[in-house]
Structure 1
Amino acid sequence: MPQTNYLYDHRPRGERKRYGDIHVLRDGRAIRFEIADENDEELIAEQFIDGFLKHSTVFQALNVTNEDLQEGTYELARSILPSRGTILGFHENKLVCFRLVRYVHHDEIPKVYGSRSKPGDPPPVPVFPKDFDTLVDAVPLSNFAARVEYVLLTAPELQLGKFLPSDVTNVAFGEAINVHEDFQKLGLGTHLSALSEKLAVENGCNYIANVTIATASNRIAEKKNFRVLCSLPFDKFYVHGQLFFQNLKDGATSANLNLGKLI
């Protein structure tokens, strides 16, 4: 797909399921929303990569390139899109936002996120290794920087099971949200999040979780009254004895696992 300022939707109108009403921004531009499917792998992956390279100080700290992220990002999109929880936002035929969401059904939670806590168990605590080298080396990606980023994001996520409340039905996990830079500061991300969470409820989810690695994302989670379940401090994230995420430009100091109640 050509690298331009925008990624364009070349699929016929009506091929995807529309979701929600047309949303008109304060500047008059109209956004339509559609539910992504398996045929949107490239569209999602390329926009995901572009957004992280431009805006994530964690990714910038490792000097990752578009090529570094291709393999892992395409695999992530491929694994999540069958959930039908991802919403795309278009202005005309331009992709201007998306929220990538995975649904995990109740019976699959222990398999995906580890054992649940039982009544009478002590309060759960996160368990992280002193050095993440073994985990990083085991990731089936060819690029070292991509393996480091993968472990940073998934190590907190894989702690989720023990922290989930007893009333959980299905869980929505927000893997990423992206708003094109020409459409930021117009409330589009807030509207997209609300639509995404409405769709999650319709699919039987009563909690949504995510991992945040940026100061701005942490503030958004706090504003939404998400609870921080555990944190992985960057000054404890050693890989082969080396720290990679010190003195980040945005001041972020940890990867946080957050949980919000939907209904």
Structure 2
Amino acid sequence: MEQEPTGARRRLGAELRRLRVNAGLKLDDAARGLDCSASKISRLENGKGVPRPADVDVLLALYGGVAELEAEMLRRLVAQSRTRGWWEPFTEGLRTERYVLPAPGRYTAVETDATGVDAFDLSVLHGLLQTPDYARAVLAARLPGHDGWEIDQLVHLRRRRHEALTSNPPLRLRAVIDESVLARATGGPSVMADQLDRLLEISRLPNVILLVLPFSAGVQRAHAGRFSVLAIPDELGSDLVHTEGHAGEFFLDSSRDLETYRRVLADARADALEPEASRVLIAHHRERHRVAVAAAG
């Protein structure tokens, strides 16, 4: 099965790094061989650059000792890494916005390679859980300077991401949702009631576990901010932590960071309600929003 371009780039980068290290060469040595900067080699090895076939051939010759079968595998990765990701039609033409939308599609590219997502939702629901109307309300609030068609494109992108939950094999999703997310009337009571209906449906999927952290649990370390831990297959790289805030989005991959965020998430899970009790609380807030809709009507 062909990999998505970002996954292919990361695997290619890891292989190039392994070959360079095995050859006893430093980044500067590889840069001289390719007549480029060391930063370019670093970007290729980190899966952030789009490699040219000729560059990879030069590096393979420089590193030496590469069997033809392995070289062919690397050339296939080069070809795959230069293809367009499925998400790119949704992000073309979108204006970037520092901090809030610095690189449209970047998170989606990583999520596409993941086998599982463990999330803590503090202010809004994870994108994999959002209905179109809820997503539109969230995006419009975060991107007030963007046109309607740009918001629509991002909403369509989120809807397409949902397919991962019912694909074969499906993406595993485990989310701890702060009760404040359920109580907040994001988009208005009607939008929120429909959103919680959808949340109850998704919670029944065998690959999804949704736990609610109730108000009664008090303040947690997790309340410092929303985050996700993405499980990345070994052949594509290491697991990643994704965080968001007013200073933008960040990906962390050090073992120390991963351990810290996993521990924080484990603590939140320990104080969260069990799945069935969580569904009861979700249904309670859904009814509360429905009452608000009826009262307004």
Fold shared per TM-score above 0.5: no
Answer 1 or 2: which has greater helix percent: 2
In the superposition, the TM-score normalised over structure 1's length comes to: 0.29
Higher Rg = 2
Answer 1 or 2: which has greater strand percent: 1
In the superposition, the TM-score normalised over structure 2's length comes to: 0.27
